[in-house]
């Protein structure tokens, strides 16, 4: 069994849920406290042992490449002014991992974006991390949990899931379990997109993390566009399952933030600030003193 050492981050979306902030700025580069959202994802992958990362971009996303690139002028200025702490911080960003880029030339959906990674992945199993989902778990990163589970199972695609409240199952793709493997893992029978509460087979929602076998690219090529002319990743995953490939869902541990949503971005900013060594006391004191009635 090959070690999982590569990851794909689809980052070509327009970010319409957080307009107007994304009119000229990629949603992945919107700042949460003092880092762009995308950096949290890259750090999770690095902490999970991933060595090479492909970011699938689109038009007007060059700031992503600039952020993770070496910045001669900035580093020289920091060095000359003796700001060593800032210099180390900036250097770490460009040295975290081997990061590559490919452009999705047409907005044809998540499945199409993953298909753009075929030559990068080759014949290795790999991780997919969606750009809208930050998962906070500093002890055992969500990606590491899925990678370890794949190693334990030996083979198969894995959907990263979490239990959501019954009142929210109609917002997500919900897993229909076939059988329980352990306390956090089920083998998957099917998948229902945004079911009514009465029709939901479980409360396990697919949320932003996947481990995929390289055979997925064959199925992506065979998958016809669905709603909106987009190629859906889940369609290819289930075609693969129907051909006898194992499909599992793993309920990962961690606090999820939907940073493609305005309120999700706000929650992430507040809670990350409350964990920030430099800011946590100031932010805590500020929140305690706020008088909502006085804010207009």
Helices first, then strands: H and E counts in the chain: 11, 13
pLDDT of residue 151: 94
- Is pTM beyond 0.75? Reply is yes
**Per-residue pLDDT reduced to its tens digit, 254-268:** 999 988 888 999 999
Higher pLDDT, 131 or 49: 49
Share of the chain above pLDDT 70, in %: 100
What's the CATH class of domain 6-264? Answer: alpha beta
C-alpha 104: how far from chain center: 17
Neighbours of 283 (CB within 10 A): 19
Ramachandran bin of 82, using left for φ above 0, alpha for ψ from -120 to 50, beta for the remaining angles: left
Determine contact, residues 10/130, Cβ cutoff 8 Å. Answer: yes
Higher pLDDT, 91 or 202: 202
Per-domain residue ranges of the chain: 6-264
pLDDT of residue 1: 67
Q: What contacts 24+ positions apart, CB below 8 Å, involve 184-187?
A: 184/149, 184/250, 184/251, 184/252, 184/253, 185/149, 185/153, 185/248, 185/249, 185/250, 185/251, 186/248, 186/249, 187/246, 187/247, 187/248
pLDDT at 137 over 90: yes
Q: Can you tell me the mean pLDDT for 201-219? A: 94
- Residue showing tokens 């939907």: 258
Q: Poorest-confidence range of 161-165, 178-182, 226-230, 251-255? A: 226-230
Look over the chain and give the mean of its residue pLDDT values, rounded to a whole number: 90
pLDDT of residue 62: 86
Distance CA 113, CA 84 (A): 39
């Amino acid at each position: 069994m090959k070690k999982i050492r590569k990851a794909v981050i689809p980052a070509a979306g327009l970010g319409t849920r957080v307009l107007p902030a994304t009119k000229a700025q990629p949603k992945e580069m919107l700042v949460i406290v003092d880092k762009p959202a995308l950096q949290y994802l890259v750090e999770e992958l690095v902490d999970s042992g991933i060595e090479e990362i492909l970011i699938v971009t689109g038009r007007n996303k060059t700031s992503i490449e600039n952020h993770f690139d070496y910045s001669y002028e900035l580093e020289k200025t920091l060095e000359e002014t003796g700001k060593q702490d800032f210099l180390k911080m900036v250097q770490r960003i460009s040295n975290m991992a081997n990061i590559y880029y490919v452009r999705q030339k047409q907005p044809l959906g998540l499945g199409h974006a993953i298909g753009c990674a075929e030559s990068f992945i080759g014949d290795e199993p790999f991780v997919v991390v969606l750009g809208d989902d930050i998962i906070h778990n500093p002890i055992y990163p969500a990606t590491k949990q899925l990678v370890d589970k794949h190693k334990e199972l030996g083979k198969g695609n894995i959907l990263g899931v979490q239990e959501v409240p019954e009142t929210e199952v109609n917002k997500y793709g919900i897993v229909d379990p076939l059988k329980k493997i352990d306390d956090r893992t089920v083998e998957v029978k099917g998948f229902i997109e945004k079911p009514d509460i009465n029709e939901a087979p479980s409360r396990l929602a697919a949320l932003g993390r996947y481990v995929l076998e390289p055979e997925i690219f064959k199925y992506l090529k065979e998958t016809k566009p669905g709603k909106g002319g987009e190629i859906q990743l889940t369609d290819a995953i289930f075609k693969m399952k129907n051909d006898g490939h194992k499909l599992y869902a793993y309920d990962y541990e961690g606090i999820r933030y939907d940073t493609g949503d305005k309120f999700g971005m706000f929650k992430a900013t507040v809670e990350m600030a409350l964990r920030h060594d430099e800011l946590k006391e100031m932010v805590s004191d500020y929140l305690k003193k706020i008088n909502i009635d006085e804010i207009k």
